[in-house]
Amino acid sequence: MDEKDVLALKKRYLLWLYKTTKEAFDRYERKFTQLEIDKFILEEVSRECRQAYLSDEREAIGEQVEAMRVYVTEKENACLKLKYRGKKINPEYLFLDIKLQALEKAIVKELGNEELRRIKNLYEQEMSERILHSREEK
């Protein structure tokens, strides 16, 4: 096996390792980013409901807003339970964060900064394609 073959093997392994580690880490992080967006949307919907509709419409829409508020609150509680164990951060979350940082350093060491950027872009592209091609199960 020549150097080019060895480099190709390392590259594929690092790509696979990045993907699997990043997916595991994102399972924690995406909940918090979703929550941030959900809270913003809830605030916007609440404001619009208070300002733009007649009182009977506000009441009907208000029920939907309240349902969303309950959903956001429950989601926030679930997020906190996922990331924290009591008052301490979940060790698995911490480990994945550290592992991802070390993995990025390994990619730079073996393949360079440009390849790290390319791998991150490939990951983002795949995750976006998964979302666009997924179907809601009902």
The predicted structure's pLDDT at residue 136:
66
List pLDDT tens digits, range 74-94. Answer: 999 999 998 888 889 999 999
How confident is the model over 85-111, as a mean pLDDT?
95
Question: What would the DSSP string read from start to end of the chain?
Answer: --HHHHHHHHHHHHHHHHHHHHHHHHHHHHHHHHHHHHHHHHHHHHHHHHHHS-HHHHHHHHHHHHHHHHHHHHHHHHHHHHHEETTEE-HHHHHHHHHHHHHHHHHHHHH-HHHHHHHHHHHHHHHHHHHHH-----
